[in-house]
Each structure stands twice: as structure tokens, then as C-alpha cells.
Amino acid sequence: MANEYQPLPTLTLPRTTDLVQLEQRPHPPINMHSPALSVMTDLRLVNPVGIRGDADLREAHQRMISHGIRLLFVHDDDGSLLGIVTAVDLLGERPIQCMKEHGKHHADLQVSDVMTPRDKLDALRLEDVAAANVGQLIATMKQLGRQHALVLEINSGNGHYEVCGLFSTSHMARLLGMPLSFIRVPQALSEIQYSLLYTG
């Protein structure tokens, strides 16, 4: 059977051979009219980095550092998505709030204590993203007040939703060459009360 195929030509590596540096590769210019997919991290091509909900905060932080990322997908033993945890969740006010509310020491906190749970996350449908441009995506994330947005598609095999993409305002800001930072305006009185009680 192998006789049916012709081998490819080869070459000896020249002296001027370098390893590719992904961040230094030229990107096509990105602007507000560019397709939204051009700024999406495609998790069908890039393995998402995850962590178990019962891992401690130090392990989560070390994993972010070792992978050069600021977000981890939190999962259970079966691989089901429980939520996400960001560097801000680990290093911001959430651990302090949790220590006060539950009387825990920092070393006893788990990722599940400070993550944003699945039912509190906003997501976009892949088919909507595929028809959108960067400007629409930025307007959406500004309205949500989020630094990250997940993209979902349905697995035709089992009918489950799957997270297939991720948008990050810091990634988009680098590609656009402009700052993008959204502060969420509280949408309800309960959110304002919570903010005054627990984050002041």
C-alpha cells in the first residue's frame, strides 16, 4: 500500500535555522471590522489548561505561571466544567472574603472557593461569533463587564454543550494595540448591597 504514495523531498537544516516563536510571528492587522474569530483562542486547536476544583490556590497560581496564562478551566474528576478561575480571583479580594466568611486559613482555600461557577458565566454561541466582527464582540464584553468570554458549540455526538473558544480582553488589546478594560456596572440593588458589604 505504501508504494502508492510518493515520498516528500527533504532538506538538511541550514545554519540559519531557528525555532518558531509564536508571539513574534507576524499577525494580519486586526481592527474593529476584522472577523471576531480572528481574535478567539480556538480550544479545538489549543488544549485548554484545566485544574480540579479541590486543588489549592498555590497550585492554581503555579499552573498559570508555568503556562503563561491568566485563566484556568475548573473541572471535576469526570472532566465536567465546574467554572473558571482567573489570576484576579486568586490574587484579588476573593480569597480574603472567603477567609473572613468561612474562617479558613489561606492554605486551606481551594480553587472551588474562589472560582466563578459555571452557572454565573456568560457564553456566546459559535454560530453568532462566526457572523460577528471584533467591534461587536468588544461591545458585548463591555456590556457584560467581563475580561473573558466563553464560546460554546453543541457536540452532535452526545448533544452536550462544549466550550470551544475563549475571548480575552488582554489578548484582543495586544492585537488591536489599544487598551481594553471593562468595569462592570452593578445591574441590581442586590449586587450593590453585596459590593458595599463584602468588598468595601
For the domain that residue 54 is a member of, what is the CATH number?
A: 3.10.580.10
Evaluate whether residue 57 is within a structural domain.
Answer: yes
- The predicted pLDDT at position 22 comes to 59
pTM for this structure? 0.73
Residue 23 clears pLDDT 80, i.e. is over it: no
Burial class (CB in 10 A: 0-12, 13-18, 19+), 37: middle
- The predicted pLDDT at position 198 comes to 46
- The predicted pLDDT at position 200 comes to 41
Average pLDDT over residues 144-161: 90
Average pLDDT over residues 29-37: 94
Residue 183 clears pLDDT 80, i.e. is over it: no
Residue ranges of alpha helices (H) inside the chain are 57-67, 87-91, 94-102, 111-114, 126-130, 134-144, 169-176, 189-198
Mean pLDDT of the chain: 85
Q: What's the domain range around 140? A: 32-193
Evaluate whether residue 23 is within a structural domain.
Answer: no
Name the domain count of the chain: 1
Average pLDDT over residues 46-66: 94
